[in-house]
Structure 1
Amino acid sequence: MIKVIDLFAGCGGLTEGFMQTGKYQEVAAVEWLVPQVNTLRNRLKTKWNETDADDRVMHFDIQREQELFEGWNDEKFGQGKGLDYFVNKSSGIDMIIGGPPCQAYSVAGRVRDENGMKEDYRNYLFEHYLSVVDRYKPKFFIFENVPGILSATPNGTPITKLIKDGFDSIGYEITDDLKAALVNAADYGVPQNRNRIIILGVNKKLVPEYKKILDDFYNVILPKYKCDHVVTVREAIGDLPKCMPYFDEEHHSKRKSHDTPECSVSMHVPRYSNLRDMDTFRILEEDIASGERKYDSKAISKLYEEKIGSKSPIHRYHVLEPDEPSTTIIAHLYKDGNRFIHYDPTQQRTITPREAARLQSFPDDFEFVGSRGNAYQMIGNAVPPLLANAIAKAILELWEEV
């Protein structure tokens, strides 16, 4: 078994894909948001029979490095044994996986922030990832992030240079051409166009042929796991029971806009939409279902103005195309779902957490612990398990090479 630590673990998308191979053991994971911690602990216990997951999935702030390594007793985070304890218990680790929160690297985040995210602490969370790698010296690491990392320059220096120089300084090689590390999850069976940077780091001391290993990973091994068939939104969510709309005042006065169908899976519960929004959804859904397609971005902006009574610089509505992969599922879903409208005109709604989870390739038995908003947020921030699984299998092949 290959022994792994998952940093910035979230609800466990990366972990899920790695565990599905049956070849990896999760020694420890670190995450600081409570619903995500509870979700990952629950999954490891109920699916993967990891009885001590409550200890090994650490609810802690990775920026407090000394305590992260040596243990803590804290009002906010309770008690924890620290990473050293679990790494020593397992006689070292082979690999570190994870991706620091990507908001500060995302182009959208930089556009929205008045300082272009220059002062966002999340620009430098990778330095704490680097510290963990340096302390435990695994053979490999996988560092996942958004394509915006290629253009982020928070203090005038490209973040890619900071990352490459940082890992080089502790004896790790990553690819010189990070554009070659760009993958689309849709190529790996995920029903969603989701471009991500997958950085493989190789310990130069333990793997003398590190250049060849990196070349093989990106050009030969990982591409082998691409799927011939692109999975569409309809294929992913079309079999789930319909959530039919209510139009009467009685339901709407209780903030209930849709029926919650009997369902064998959890979290297939739509959020509340008011009658005005439902009518907007219907207009746009019918436009796609009929094949008319008269609502381009200009027409959608005009519709928004008519319905809301104010202008918007961006069009705020998007219906998921039924016969294509979804657009990128994002954490913003916890605020509203207007850019993730279900394609069926009879339902007049945005997607449920379970539909979002399917579009992210989470199995139906994956339970999200927390509120519906918590679920949307953790699903949107996760690495799709099917993409993680392809990476995990590619690493297994590399392991045999070295």
Structure 2
Amino acid sequence: MVHQRIPTKISSATSASSKISTMNVRLPRLVWMALIVGMLAACSTPVPMAPSTAPTARPGPAGPVAVPGTLSQSKSRWVPVAWNELPGFEGDALHEAWNAWLRSCERPAPAFAPLCGDVRRLTIASPEEQREWMMQRLQPYRIESLDGGADGLLTGYFEPYLDAARQPGNGFVVPLYAPPADLAARRPWYTRQQIETLPQAQAALAGRAIAWVRDPVQAMVLHIQGSGRLRVQEADGSQRLVRLAFAGTNDQPYRSVGKWLLDQGLVRDATWPGISAWVAQNPQRVNEMLWSNPRYVFFREEPLDALDAAFGPKGAQGVPLTPGRSIAVDRQSIPYGTPVWLASSGPTAQLSRLVLAQDTGSAILGAVRADYFTGWGQEAGDMAGRLKQNLRLWALWPR
């Protein structure tokens, strides 16, 4: 799921009745067993890790100090540390992260494929056994920028959960489209404003609407997040839960509507609560705000069975995301499938936990940078919308 992500809040989104708590994810035992059985390892292309060939140094009071055993990436370096450097390691509910790790074992990088048999076996082990195994088989590395900085930024993202209908009417007026047939032939495709106003763009999208939602701002949030859940009212009056997954863009540049509002001097608070308040007071200018972002996202529909509904959409690693245990990273800093220790503190959340690097985003750039998948629905959206705080990361790499 590769797209822009900015902190987002939908104040009127409908919460999923099956929503997993972002801070306390516990899947039913039946789901755990379904995950254990039949998961086959398939290789994905890794980002190689290599020992630094040039002298690697960290700033010190008397100048750079060499750090032996450091591993290098394009945008980061990994400095080996002791396990006791990881804050909160002794207290994390590791079994919650094991669900995400099992998912990564569906498409493991070669470095982690030999560990996946143990990962599956330890699904039903005690936290003490899981922790002891990790300490024996993995080496923690503090992730730093190339100039030695260890502090970074944590934000959040989620799956919007919206009511929708198959046909327009009764308040459902905003279409969500599958890609047009000529998308690959015309790059860039029409802008957001052109898509909504030009007859030729409308003609190219005729018959491509997957469903219709009520609120254009909520539709914009769905575009920004790149996927979402729809409770769809079918033509026969029945309702069905489906997922809209990212299927492409118009290849136009992404522009933040919050920044547009700030630049226009229209708001001082560019969070989604602040944006929502401005929208409520200025309905006549909503299109102007939305059209300031020319990027437009197209979707594909996916069914949601009971197991799928317990996880998020597939991330860039190609496996479903786990609420509270999956992060999006810069792949030039952290390879997909890497278990990572995350520590972040701020007004929104106090987090010290094991997570898996399973996704990316074009706004997620830098050595110590992560986007935290909070889940779906209103509560997850509220948390994602508020989450913007300090971050430290440690990669856990096979010995």
TM range (shorter): under 0.3
TM-score, normalised by the number of residues in structure 1: 0.24
TM-score norm. by structure 2 comes to 0.24
Q: Select the structure that is richer in strand.
A: 2
Task: Give the structure with the larger helix fraction.
Answer: 1
Larger RCO (CA within 8 A; separation ≥ 6): 2
